[in-house]
C-alpha cells in the first residue's frame, strides 16, 4: 500500500433497497489512485451496487464515501456497463462524444476528442457506423471510447466483456491494460471471472454475498505489462488458484 | 431473395385482383345485373372517368380534411405525450379523458360537434382529429418511457439536463413507437373524415367523397358510388404506403423493425 491518500475510501457502507434487500453491509474499502482494482464475487454480492455507489448513481444507506484527493467531478468518472448501452440511432462518433456533448463543449472539440477516443480503442474509420452495423466486440469498444473520452480519473467497469467470445475478450483485456498503463487512471473492474481478474488487476477484492461485503483482498504480484505467454505461465496459474480459493472461501462464508 | 420470386411476390396479388375483377364483370354481364344493383368494374371505371371533375374535387376535399387532421393529431398528440412524460401528475390527470375521447364512437359525437361548430370544415377536422390523435398519444407516451435504463443512468452520470435527456435520449427512443402510431393514425384520420362527412352529408351539407356516396345513393347512381368508394380505398392505401415509406427512411439505419428489408 502506498502512503499517499487513497482516491476514494468507503467506510462501513451499507445499501438497502426499497424492498428491504441488503445489497451491501459494513463495506470497508480504500481504492488507491492509479491502481487497477478488480472486484471479484458471485452474482448477487452487490458488485454492481458498489459501482453505482462510486459513480454517485446511488447513495449509501449507511456509512460514508470519502474522496481524500477531492471528487473527480461529473466528467471525472467513466462508466462501462455490461451491455454496450449505445444509442442505436446515433453513429459511433456521436455515441463516443456524448459525454462531451452533455457537458456543452464546442462541437469541434467534441468531434476531435471523440475521433481520438475511437482511434484509441482501434475504431478509426468506423466513426460513421451505426451500432447495428458493428460486431459485439466493436460495440463494446465504442462504449469504452465513450467512457474514456472525458479522460476520467476513475473508470468503472461492470462486467463489460462478459457477453463477448473468449478470443475477443482476451484481445480487449490486453487493449484495456495498454490504455490504462501510463494513463494515471484508476480502474475498478467488476467481474465474476477469476481468470479475467487475475490477468487484469494489480489488486483483487473478493466479495461475499448476502449481504455484500469484502471477504479478502489479494495483491496480484505479477509484472505489468503482462509478458507474452503470461496466460499459460505457471505464475498465472498459481495466482488463479489463489484467487479461486479465496472466492470459494468467500462463497462458503 | 432472387429476382424471379420477388417479381412473383408483386405479380401474384395483382393477378388475383385482375381475376376477381374479370370474374365480377363476367358475372354481371352473364346474369345481366342492372347497374343500379351491382355495376361491373367497367361501368365503375367509366363513371370514374366521366365524373372525374366532380369526384377529384371531392377527393381533394376529403384528403385535405384527413391530412390536416393527421397534422393536428401529430402536433397535439406529440406535445401531450411529451408533457405526460415530463410529469406523471399531468398524465394521471389527463390520460383517462384521452381514453374517454378514444372509446366514444365518433358517429355518436359527430352530430353534436356539427351542431356546436358552425364552420363545417372545422367540425369535420375536429371529428377526424379525435379519431386520429389517440394512437399517436399512447404510442409516443409508451416510447418516451421506453428509453434504455442504463442509458438514462449514463445521462444522469454525466449530469444531463432534463432537456438534454428529452432531446437526445427519450425523443429518439420514442421515434419508432411514434411512427407506428402515425401509421395507424393515418388510416384513422381518413376514416374519421369520411364518417364525419357522412354525418354532415346526411344533413345536406358537404363536398367530400362520403357526401358523393350519399348523393349517388339517393340518385341511384351506383357506379359513381362505387367509383367514390374506390377512391377512398386508394386514398387510404396511399396514406398508409406514404407513412410506411417515412417510417422506413427514418429507421432504416438503426432500428430492428427495418432490419429485414435491407437483406
DSSP string, B24-41: HHHHHHHTT--TTT---H
A85 and B157 within 8 Å at the Cβ level: the answer is: no
Of A52, A99, A132, the CB nearest to B158: A99
On whether any CB of chain B is under 8 Å from the CB of A73, the answer is no
Whether A56 sits inside 8 A of B169 (CB atoms) is: no
- Label residue A229 left, alpha or beta by phi (over 0 means left) and psi (-120 to 50 means alpha): left
Residues B144 and B178 reside in one and the same domain: yes
Give the C-alpha separation, B15 to B27, whole Å: 18
Angstrom distances, CA of residue B174 to CA of A20, B149, B224: 33, 14, 43
β A8-16/A22-31 pair status: antiparallel
| CA Rg value for chain B | 23
Residue B137 has pLDDT above 60, yes or no: yes
Interatomic CA distance for residues A132 and A119, integer angstroms: 19
Judge if B175 and B235 occupy the same domain. Answer: yes
What ipTM does the predicted assembly reach?
0.90
A interface mutation test: which of B152, B156, B253, B260 has the most A CBs within 10 A? B253
Residues B108 and B130 occupy one common structural domain: yes
Are B151 and A89 a contacting pair at CB < 8 A?
A: no
Residue of A nearest to B256 (CA): A132
Q: What's residue B85's pLDDT?
A: 87
**Residues A48/A189, Cβ–Cβ less than 8 Å:** no
Q: Over range B135-143, report the average pLDDT.
A: 94
pLDDT tens for residues B26-79?
999 999 999 888 999 999 999 999 999 999 999 999 999 999 999 999 999 999
Q: Do B253 and A101 touch (CB under 8 A)?
A: no
B-chain residue closest to A97, CA distance = B158
> By CB neighbour count within 10 A (0-12 exposed, 13-18 middle, 19+ buried), where does B96 fall?
exposed
Count the domains in chain B.
Answer: 2
Q: Tell me which of A59, A87, A99 to substitute to probe the interface with B (most B C-beta atoms closer than 10 Å).
A: A87
Task: Please state, in angstroms and rounded to a whole number, the distance separating the CA atoms of residues A60 and A25.
Answer: 10
* CA–CA dist B235, B67 (Å, integer): 11
Contact status, residue A191 vs residue A198, Cβ threshold 8 Å: no
A99 CB neighbours in chain B (<8 A) are 158
- For A128, nearest residue in chain B (alpha carbons): B253
Q: Per-residue pLDDT tens, chain A, 253 aa: give them.
A: 446 789 999 999 999 988 888 889 989 999 999 999 999 988 878 888 999 999 999 999 999 999 998 888 888 999 999 999 999 999 999 999 999 999 999 999 999 999 999 999 999 999 999 999 999 999 999 999 999 999 999 999 999 998 899 999 999 999 999 999 988 899 999 998 999 999 999 999 999 888 888 999 999 988 888 988 899 999 999 999 999 999 999 888 7
Contact A53, A87 (CB under 8 A): no
Is the preceding peptide bond at A211 cis, omega within 30 degrees of 0? yes
What confidence tier does B263 reach under pLDDT thresholds 50, 70, 90? Answer: very low
* 3-state class (DSSP) for residue A129: coil
- Looking at residues B139-162, what average pLDDT do you find? 93
- Asked if B59 and B165 sit in the same domain, the reply is yes
Cβ atoms of residues A29 and A203 within 8 Å: no
Contact between A85 and B156 using a beta-carbon 8 Å cutoff: no
Residues of chain B with C-beta less than 8 angstroms from the C-beta of A130: 253-254
Work out the minimum CA distance from A113 to partner chain B, whole angstroms: 16
B159: closest chain A residue by CA: A74
Peptide bond into A225 cis (omega under 30): yes
List A158's β-bridge partners, or say none: A190
Contact criterion met (CB below 8 Å) for B101 and B130? yes
Q: How far is A162 from chain B (nearest CA, A)?
A: 16
In this structure, are B21 and B122 located in the same domain? no
pLDDT beyond 60 at B90: yes
Max Cα separation, chain B?
A: 77
Same-domain pairing of B125 and B254 = yes
CATH number at residue B181: 1.10.3720.10
Average pLDDT over residues B167-189: 94
Tell me if A103 and B156 make a contact (CB, 8 A cut-off).
no
Claim to verify: residue B154 and residue B245 sit in the same structural domain: yes
pLDDT (0 to 100) of residue B254: 84
Residue B72 lies in domain: 38-262
What average pLDDT does the structure give for chain B?
A: 89
How confident is the model over B153-180, as a mean pLDDT? 94
Q: Pick the residue from chain A with its C-alpha nearest to B150.
A: A85
**Which three three-digit cell numbers place residue B39?**
355495376
At A201 the three-state DSSP class reads coil
Chosen from B148, B149, B175, B254 to mutate, greatest number of chain A CBs within 10 A = B254
Q: How many CB atoms lie within 10 A of CB B17?
A: 10
Say yes or no: A74 contacts chain B, CB-CB below 8 A: yes
In this structure, what C-alpha cell is assigned to residue A36? Answer: 487497477
Q: Are residues B23 and B110 in the same domain?
A: no
pLDDT of residue A1: 45
Q: Are residues B227 and B258 in the same domain?
A: yes
Asked if residue B191 and residue B130 are part of one domain, the reply reads yes
Domains of chain A: 8-72+153-252 (3.40.50.300), 88-150 (no CATH)
Minimum CA–CA partner of A131 in chain B: B254
Are residues B118 and B219 part of one domain? yes
- For residue A203, which of A222, A185, A229 has the smallest C-alpha distance? A222
Amino acid at each position: 500500500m502506498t502512503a499517499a491518500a487513497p482516491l476514494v475510501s468507503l467506510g462501513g457502507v451499507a445499501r438497502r433497497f426499497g424492498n428491504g434487500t441488503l445489497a451491501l453491509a459494513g463495506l470497508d474499502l480504500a481504492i488507491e489512485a492509479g491502481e487497477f482494482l478488480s472486484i471479484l464475487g458471485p452474482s448477487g454480492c452487490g458488485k454492481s451496487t458498489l459501482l453505482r455507489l462510486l459513480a454517485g448513481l446511488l447513495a449509501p444507506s449507511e456509512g460514508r464515501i470519502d474522496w481524500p484527493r477531492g471528487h473527480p467531478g461529473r466528467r471525472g468518472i467513466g462508466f462501462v456497463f455490461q451491455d454496450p448501452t449505445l444509442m442505436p440511432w446515433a453513429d459511433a462518433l456521436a455515441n463516443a462524444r456524448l459525454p462531451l456533448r452533455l457537458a456543452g463543449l464546442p462541437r469541434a472539440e467534441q468531434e476531435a476528442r471523440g475521433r481520438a477516443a475511437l482511434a484509441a480503442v482501434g475504431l478509426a474509420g468506423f466513426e460513421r457506423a451505426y451500432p447495428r452495423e458493428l460486431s459485439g466486440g466493436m460495440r463494446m469498444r465504442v462504449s469504452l471510447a465513450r467512457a474514456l473520452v472525458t479522460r476520467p480519473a476513475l473508470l468503472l467497469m461492470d462486467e463489460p466483456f462478459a457477453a463477448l467470445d473468449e478470443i475477443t475478450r482476451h484481445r480487449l483485456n490486453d487493449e484495456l491494460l495498454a490504455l490504462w498503463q501510463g494513463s494515471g487512471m484508476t480502474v475498478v473492474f467488476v467481474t465474476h471471472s477469476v481468470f479475467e481478474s487475475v490477468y487484469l488487476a494489480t489488486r483483487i477484492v473478493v466479495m461475499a454475498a448476502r449481504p455484500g461485503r469484502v471477504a479478502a483482498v489479494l495483491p496480484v504480484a505479477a509484472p505489468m505489462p503482462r509478458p507474452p505467454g503470461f496466460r499459460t505461465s505457471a505464475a498465472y496459474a498459481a495466482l488463479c488458484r489463489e484467487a479461486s480459493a479465496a472466492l470459494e472461501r468467500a462463497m462458503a462464508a | 431473395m432472387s429476382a424471379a420470386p420477388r417479381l412473383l411476390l408483386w405479380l401474384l396479388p395483382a393477378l388475383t385482383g385482375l381475376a376477381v375483377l374479370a370474374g365480377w364483370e363476367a358475372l354481371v354481364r352473364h346474369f345481366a345485373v342492372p347497374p343500379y344493383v351491382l355495376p361491373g368494374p367497367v361501368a365503375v371505371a367509366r363513371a370514374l372517368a366521366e365524373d372525374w371533375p366532380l369526384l377529384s374535387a371531392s377527393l381533394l376535399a376529403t384528403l385535405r380534411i384527413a391530412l390536416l387532421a393527421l397534422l393536428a393529431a401529430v402536433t397535439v398528440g406529440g406535445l401531450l405525450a411529451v408533457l405526460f412524460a415530463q410529469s406523471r401528475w399531468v398524465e394521471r390527470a389527463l390520460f383517462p379523458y384521452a381514453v374517454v375521447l378514444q372509446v366514444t364512437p365518433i358517429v355518436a359525437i359527430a352530430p353534436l360537434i356539427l351542431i356546436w361548430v358552425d364552420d363545417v370544415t372545422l367540425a369535420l377536422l375536429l371529428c377526424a382529429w379525435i379519431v386520429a390523435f389517440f394512437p399517436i398519444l399512447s404510442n409516443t407516451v409508451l416510447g418516451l418511457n421506453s428509453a434504455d435504463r442504463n442509458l438514462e443512468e449514463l445521462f444522469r452520470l454525466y449530469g444531463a439536463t432534463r432537456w438534454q435527456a428529452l432531446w437526445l435520449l427519450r425523443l429518439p427512443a420514442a421515434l419508432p413507437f411514434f411512427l407506428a402510431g402515425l401509421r395507424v393514425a393515418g388510416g384513422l384520420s381518413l376514416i374519421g373524415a369520411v364518417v364525419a362527412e357522412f354525418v354532415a352529408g346526411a344533413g345536406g351539407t358537404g363536398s367530400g367523397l362520403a357526401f358523393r356516396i350519399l348523393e349517388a345513393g339517393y340518385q341511384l347512381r351506383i357506379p359513381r358510388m362505387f367509383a367514390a368508394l374506390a377512391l377512398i380505398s386508394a386514398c387510404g392505401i396511399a396514406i398508409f404506403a406514404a407513412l410506411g415509406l417515412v417510417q422506413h427512411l427514418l429507421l432504416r439505419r438503426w432500428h430492428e423493425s427495418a432490419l429485414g428489408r435491407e437483406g
